[in-house]
């Protein structure tokens, strides 16, 4: 029997964020005090009423398969929330509940993309976007942005990148890894370009509720409703309600595409865990108070981290509008020497050195398509933010 693996795996790069977390866990197991800025998940517990709803579902015997697209009550609540909060009309027929938002994106890739297709992805990007595109044989096409532009897609660059092969454009707002979010006028400018090209629009809005300083979060579809027939919204409860391990996400798409994604899921995950779905329903019905407290704390942490990073020589960092990431230019550190004579040739070397020397875990920017940068998640206590900033500052002071 041949032991050869499928060729498709040769084009996939393992997740850098998970690799950093794994190395940090190894050091912790050795007794090292590691402060990790790597994880893309809130450090809060899932609110008690949501946890209790999951337990109640188990006690009530809600532990069997559900419909592939999810329990009817949850799908209806998702559609109602989209209509009310986004201004994007939806019904349960538009919704497929998935194993996390990542599962929704994977269903979409299998349902839409094939060899010969191109998928436009603004950079910096979340690490799984291009890998999922490659897994199904399509080609990711990257459009770089810059700190000077606020890490946002330039509509003129988008217009130049669109070709007859473009099957979809991915837009994440607020963004992982940069925290950049698009205001209504910026979305209008992007929509004006997309109107002239017949392609799908994938809107990853998993961080849509986590915005700061009164930022007006809008969906491109609410700004340009005429594009709704070819738009897919990706969302879930993971980030907003601190429910990453419950694995509940969803897609909101035109009915024909939702049926196709339902068919894909039926041959894969079947459905999301039943108690998790009932917990997610409780989350959507929850009062906003506990969430608002979490968001306020994230903003406090953001301000503390960004200010502290800017005070470290060689760091340039913008102020993210949303999510819980700071994305920093550390180009001035590249090429410098550590006290033992090693040269920091790239951001991966910087990340490895900070982990071993400062015992601080960050994710190198190259993983997100932006070499010379690093991402720090501020889903970390203020105490640990202050401690880590001091450690980083001390380590950088040793570079030659």
Q: What is the pLDDT of residue 17?
A: 67
What is the Cα–Cα distance from 357 to 372, expressed in whole angstroms? 19
Residues 6+ apart with CB under 8 A from 9: none
Per residue in 240-269, pLDDT tens?
999 999 999 999 999 999 999 999 999 999
- Which residue has 């738009």 as its token pair? 231
Does the pLDDT of residue 21 top 80, yes or no? no
Element (H, E) at 202: strand 200-204
Mean pLDDT of the chain, nearest integer: 95
The 3-state secondary structure of 3-14 reads CCCCHHHHHCCC
pLDDT band at 333, cuts 50/70/90? very high
Record the tokens describing residue 30, joined without a space: 């050795």
- Residue 261 and residue 111 in contact, taking contact as beta carbons nearer than 8 Å: yes
Identify the band that residue 339 occupies on the pLDDT scale cut at 50, 70 and 90. very high
pLDDT (average), residues 102-115: 98
User: Cα Rg for the chain, rounded, in angstroms?
Assistant: 21
Q: How many beta carbons lie within 10 A of that of residue 109, not counting itself?
A: 25
Share of the chain above pLDDT 70, in %: 98
pLDDT at 386: 97
> What is the spatial distance between Cα 215 and Cα 175, in angstroms, rounded to a whole number?
14
Class of residue 303 by CB neighbours under 10 A (exposed 0-12, middle 13-18, buried 19+): middle
* Neighbour tally for 383: CB within 10 Å: 9
Integer Cα distance of 57 and 64 in angstroms: 11
Query: Which 3 state secondary structure label does DSSP give 252?
Result: strand
Q: Which residue(s) pair with 142 in the sheet?
A: 121
Strand partners, 252: 95, 233
pLDDT over 60 (residue 1): no
Q: In the predicted model, what is the mean pLDDT of residues 343-370?
A: 94
pLDDT in tens, 168-185: 999 999 999 999 999 999
pLDDT for the residue numbered 14: 73
Instruction: Evaluate if residue 20 carries a pLDDT over 80.
Output: no
> Where does the pLDDT of residue 39 fall: very low under 50, low under 70, confident under 90, or very high at 90 and above?
confident
Burial (CB count <10 Å: 0-12, 13-18, 19+), residue 399: middle
Residue 13 has pLDDT above 80, yes or no: no
Domains of the chain: 7-45+290-396 (3.90.1150.10), 63-285 (3.40.640.10)
> Would you place residue 383 in the very low, low, confident or very high pLDDT band (cuts 50, 70, 90)?
very high
122: pLDDT strictly greater than 90: yes
With 0-12 / 13-18 / 19 or more C-beta atoms within 10 angstroms meaning exposed / middle / buried, residue 352 is: middle
Residue 232 predicted with pLDDT over 70: yes
Q: Report DSSP state, residue 43.
A: S
pTM over the 0.85 mark: yes
Q: What percent of the chain has pLDDT over 90?
A: 88
pLDDT at 289 over 80: no
Predicted pLDDT of residue 12: 82
Give me the pLDDT at residue 208, please: 95
192-209 residue pLDDT tens = 999 999 999 999 999 999
Going by pLDDT thresholds of 50, 70 and 90, the confidence category of residue 16 is low
Q: Is the pLDDT of residue 371 over 80?
A: yes
């Amino acid at each position: 029997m041949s032991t050869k693996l499928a060729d498709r795996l040769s084009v996939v790069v393992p997740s850098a964020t998970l690799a950093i977390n794994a190395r940090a866990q190894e050091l912790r197991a050795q007794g090292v005090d590691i402060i990790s800025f790597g994880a893309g998940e809130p450090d809060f517990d899932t609110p008690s009423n949501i946890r209790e709803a999951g337990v109640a579902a188990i006690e009530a015997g809600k532990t069997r398969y559900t419909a592939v697209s999810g329990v009817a009550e949850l799908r209806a609540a998702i559609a109602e929330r989209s209509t009310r909060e986004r201004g994007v009309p939806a019904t349960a027929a538009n919704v497929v509940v998935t194993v996390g938002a990542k599962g929704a994106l994977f269903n979409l890739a299998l349902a839409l993309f094939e060899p010969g297709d191109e998928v436009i992805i603004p950079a910096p990007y979340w690490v799984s976007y291009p890998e999922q595109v490659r897994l199904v044989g399509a080609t990711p096409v990257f459009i770089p942005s810059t700190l000077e532009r606020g890490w946002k897609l330039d509509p003129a660059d988008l217009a130049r990148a669109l070709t007859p092969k473009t099957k979809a454009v991915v837009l994440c707002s607020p963004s992982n890894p940069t925290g950049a979010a698009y205001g209504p006028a910026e979305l209008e400018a992007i929509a004006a370009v997309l109107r002239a090209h017949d392609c799908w629009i994938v809107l990853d809005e998993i961080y849509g509720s986590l915005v700061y300083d009164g930022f007006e979060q809008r969906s491109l579809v609410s700004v340009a409703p005429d594009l709704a027939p070819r738009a897919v919204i990706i969302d879930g409860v993971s980030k907003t309600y601190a429910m990453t391990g419950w694995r509940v996400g969803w897609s909101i798409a035109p009915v024909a595409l939702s049926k196709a994604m339902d068919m894909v899921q039926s041959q894969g995950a079947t459905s999301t865990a039943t108690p998790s779905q009932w917990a997610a329903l409780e989350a959507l019905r929850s009062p906003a108070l506990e969430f608002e407290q979490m968001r306020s704390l994230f903003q406090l942490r953001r301000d503390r981290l960004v200010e502290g990073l800017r005070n470290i020589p060689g760091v340039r960092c913008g102020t993210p509008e949303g999510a819980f990431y700071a994305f920093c230019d550390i180009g001035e550190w590249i090429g410098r020497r550590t006290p033992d004579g090693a040269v920091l040739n790239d951001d991966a070397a910087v990340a490895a050195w900070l982990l071993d020397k400062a015992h601080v875990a960050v994710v190198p920017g190259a993983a997100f398509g932006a070499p010379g940068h690093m991402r720090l998640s501020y889903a970390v206590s203020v105490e640990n933010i202050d401690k880590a900033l001091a450690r980083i500052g001390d380590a950088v002071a040793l570079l030659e």
